[in-house]
Amino acid sequence: MEKIKYERPVIQKMNTGLMNKFGTRTEYEPVTHIESVPVKSLIKDYGSPLYVISEKQIRRNFQNATRIFKTRYPKVQFAWSYKTNYMKAVCNIFHQEGSWAEVVSGYEYEKALGNGVPGNKIIFNGPVKTDDELIKAIRNNSLIHIDNNDELFSLIRLSEEHNLKPRVAIRVNMDTGIYPKWDRFGFNFENGQAWNAITRIINTRNLEFVGLHCHIGTFMLAPSAYAIAATKLCELAWNIKEKYNKVIQYIDLGGGFPSSNTLKGAYLPGSDTVPSIDQFADAITDVILGYSFKQEDLPLLILETGRALIDDAGFLLGTVIASKRLSDGRRATVLDFGINNLFTSFWYDHKVSPAQAFGDYTEEMVLYGPLCMNIDIVRESITMPLLERGNHLVVHKIGAYNLTQWMQFITLRPNVVLIDVENNTHIIRKAETLEYIEALEEVPEHLKKFGV
Ligand SMILES: *Cc1c(COP(=O)(O)O)cnc(C)c1O
């Protein structure tokens, strides 16, 4: 048996009120494997820190969400939200499962085309679309979701100039009982903007009005907000049929379902408090079915779910660099990954697990990243077994937004590895190099030489 390590005892002030229902101890088992691949060998083969994505978990999430919606409503289509995670391999898993693409910029639009998504299965959202981007999207028969009147006027002008007939929908914002209101995107429902835009589009011969869209927020915890959103879109669809005898092809309720991460400051872990996809599906489909659209008029239900389908398929592995005491006696553990790799640590208390066997003793500690910046804190306070230099850690549920909002700051971004359904590993994005980062830089002639 290995000799048990001696740790110098410290006297600490008791903090009451910080416990959750698990008591002070939050970790019972080390997480030694991702799927069935050892963390140790992943780090040995691909370096530390390391992003790991589970293909199996993505497919499981997608198939589960599809089943939940399709058993409740006959016409359902998912569109993968590119900004949530636009690694090509990740997008293509969703496309293989049948997802369309949902993009919010010309850059993301090009990515979707590059991945091979047919133009007519790309939903072009977002507040900014240039004339060139619009023309391209119109020629590709993509679904253009209009954000504002200026964009609508551009579309009318471009469709006339080029003799094209764009397929358009409008984004609608509304009061869903969640505050602050998300009213900066799209046309407002309550003040009549949305209805005016609809009337204008329907009276423009060159535009084909195909759908109604909303995206009411992100990490939404209230299924009732989706019921309100569905009601308001159905209300518009119903009135369009009544007043203009026109049938809307689809209703797109956007994304925003939460993952089971724990928001900062939450008393209970997210896995206990976050509503299930079933509850959101019930809220949405009960409303649409309640409108008793004629069978042939029943709108296609589009969902642009991002976070909820990818978060728990992503892991960040890392290594302990040092362990030290702060001036007040608190334990601090310095890691080789920080907020540059884990943007979502700004709003989540990510679950962090040791990746090797540990002792019984735990202590409250701060987890710092490697950046020479005071804000680089992965967890402000976490009760963990004692960690020492060289120990490995696994951060859970990091698949959403971290691989798009990551920062190339102070350090280079590491490898991203996919574990496929047969547990083979593939690099899906190589670790950055100095040459790669500097490839776009130029140094003017007069600054090339200096003597110090
Ligand atoms: C970001 C975004 C989504 C995805 O949101 P999630 O919160 O990741 O589900 C869907 N639709 C639009 C328009 C978005 O901007």
**pLDDT 10s digits, 213-222:** 999 999 999 9
Ligand 1 pocket check for 215: Cβ under 6 Å: yes
Q: Alpha-carbon distance 234 to 291, whole Å?
A: 7
pLDDT, residue 17, reads 45
How many structural domains comprise the chain? 2
Please tell me the distance between residue 401's alpha carbon and the centre of ligand 1 in angstroms: 10
Relative to beta strand 416-419, strand 50-54 is parallel
In a domain, 2, yes or no: no
Q: Report if pTM > 0.85.
A: yes
Please tell me the distance between residue 186's alpha carbon and the centre of ligand 1 in angstroms: 14
Of 266 and 427, more confident: 427
Ligand 1 pocket check for 186: Cβ under 6 Å: no
Does 350 lie in the same domain as 301?
no
Please tell me the distance between residue 397's alpha carbon and the centre of ligand 1 in angstroms: 17
Q: Alpha-carbon distance 351 to 192, whole Å?
A: 44
Q: Alpha-carbon distance 272 to 78, whole Å?
A: 26
3-state class of 411 per DSSP? coil
**Residues 438 and 54: beta-carbon distance below 8 Å:** no
pLDDT, residue 6, reads 85
Q: Which ligand 1 atom is the nearest neighbour of the CA of 309?
A: 9
In a domain, 231, yes or no: yes
Ligand 1 pocket check for 125: Cβ under 6 Å: yes
Does 222 lie in the same domain as 97?
yes
Does 377 lie in the same domain as 305?
no
pLDDT, residue 24, reads 55
Does 81 have pLDDT greater than 80?
A: yes
Does 162 lie in the same domain as 110?
yes
Structure tokens given for 401: 């937004």
pLDDT, residue 14, reads 55
Q: Which ligand 1 atom is the nearest neighbour of the CA of 145?
A: 13
Which one-letter DSSP state was computed for residue 119? G
pLDDT, residue 265, reads 83
Q: Alpha-carbon distance 101 to 79, whole Å?
A: 5
pLDDT, residue 7, reads 79
Which residue CA neighbors atom 3 of ligand 1 most closely?
255
Does 22 have pLDDT greater than 60?
A: no
Does 337 lie in the same domain as 202?
no
Does 15 have pLDDT greater than 60?
A: no
User: Which helix (H) or strand (E) covers residue 169, if one does?
Assistant: strand 167-173
Of 1 and 165, more confident: 165
Please tell me the distance between residue 255's alpha carbon and the centre of ligand 1 in angstroms: 5
Residue 153 belongs to a domain with what CATH number?
Answer: 3.20.20.10
Question: Which of 155-164, 239-248, 266-275 is predicted least confidently?
Answer: 266-275
In a domain, 410, yes or no: yes
Residue 363 belongs to a domain with what CATH number?
Answer: 2.40.37.10
Q: Which ligand 1 atom is the nearest neighbour of the CA of 213?
A: 13
Does 38 lie in the same domain as 65?
no
Q: Which ligand 1 atom is the nearest neighbour of the CA of 255?
A: 9
Q: Which residues does residue 187 pair with via DSSP β-bridges, in sequence order?
A: 172
Please tell me the distance between residue 135's alpha carbon and the centre of ligand 1 in angstroms: 24
Does 300 have pLDDT greater than 90?
A: yes
pLDDT, residue 16, reads 47
Range 323-349 average pLDDT: 95
* Structural domain of 97: 55-311
Ligand 1 pocket check for 419: Cβ under 6 Å: no
Q: Which residues of 71-91 are buried (b: 16+ CB within 10 A; e: fewer)?
A: ebbeebbbbbbbbbbbbebbb
